[in-house]
């Protein structure tokens, strides 16, 4: 199946990020453009996008809602899509494992021909990369930064989760 990963739109606060950060005016424009790009993906390539999954962090939620103006899909907000919970003592490996399980659940609940959009934080893309290359979560996994509102398409199948 196709999982279209989208890093939330540009946020208006500095570091460290907060789950309450809003997105900027530019972020709103980018999210609307991302929605149009995904709408074209559906029309041109006949990609049956079934739903959007999103972190409930405000910046992700707002990005999702703007993207969805073009797609009109069911939205599923799930805390497992949040970025690493440093305040709760979550480790880099634990975040990757959490994301791995969430992605696995999504893949096993859809047909191979389906597609979904996942809106989450930028650093979470490492879990998608690990799954594509069948790598186990690791402290050595690099932190990968993805530009805001950049859709990346991952082809992930059930076999990606077999050892």
What is the reported pLDDT for 66?
A: 97
For residue 119, give the CATH number of its domain: 3.40.50.1240
- Under DSSP, the state recorded for 81 is G
The pLDDT tens digits for 128-155 are 999 988 889 999 988 888 899 989 999 9
What is the reported pLDDT for 17?
A: 64
What is the reported pLDDT for 39?
A: 93
What is the reported pLDDT for 8?
A: 93
- Choose among 158, 60, 141, 55: nearest CA to 96: 141
Alpha-carbon distance values, 160 to 3, 128, 148 (Å): 13, 11, 26
Q: SS3 for 117?
A: strand
pTM: 0.92
What is the reported pLDDT for 102?
A: 95
The pLDDT tens digits for 31-52 are 999 999 999 988 887 878 999 9
User: Per the structure, how many domains does the chain have?
Assistant: 1
- pLDDT at 156 exceeding the cut of 80: yes
CB of 19 within 8 A of CB of 160? no
What is the reported pLDDT for 15?
A: 61
The overall average pLDDT reported for the chain is 90
Q: Tell me what percent of the residues of the chain surpass a pLDDT of 90.
A: 63
Q: What is the residue range of 140's domain?
A: 2-161
What is the reported pLDDT for 98?
A: 93
Beta strands across the sheet bearing 49-54: 75-77, 49-54, 115-120, 2-7, 151-155
What is the reported pLDDT for 26?
A: 94
- Choose among 82, 85, 131: nearest CA to 105: 131
CB of 129 within 8 A of CB of 144? yes
What is the C-alpha separation between 126 and 10, in angstroms, rounded?
19
Q: Which residue has the higher pLDDT, 15 or 162?
A: 162
Rounded to an integer, the average pLDDT of 86-107 is 91
Of the ranges 54-68, 82-96, 141-155, which is most confident?
54-68
Q: Which residue has the higher pLDDT, 118 or 150?
A: 118
Tokens standing for residue 29? 């424009």
What is the C-alpha separation between 129 and 132, in angstroms, rounded?
5
């Amino acid at each position: 199946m196709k999982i279209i990963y989208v890093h939330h739109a540009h946020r208006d606060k500095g570091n460290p990020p907060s789950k309450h950060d809003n997105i900027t005016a530019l972020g709103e424009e980018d999210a609307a453009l991302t929605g149009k790009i995904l709408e074209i993906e559906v029309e041109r390539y006949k990609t049956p996008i079934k739903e959007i999954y999103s972190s409930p962090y405000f910046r992700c939620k707002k990005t999702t809602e703007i993207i969805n103006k073009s797609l009109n899909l069911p939205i599923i907000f799930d805390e497992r899509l949040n970025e690493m919970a440093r305040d709760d003592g979550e480790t880099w490996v634990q975040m990757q494992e959490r994301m791995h399980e969430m992605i696995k659940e999504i893949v096993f609940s859809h047909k191979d021909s389906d597609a979904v959009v996942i809106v989450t934080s930028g650093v979470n893309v490492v879990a998608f990369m690990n799954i594509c290359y069948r790598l186990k979560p690791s402290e050595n996994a690099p932190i990968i930064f993805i530009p805001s509102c950049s859709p990346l398409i991952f082809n992930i199948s059930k076999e990606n989760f077999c050892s």
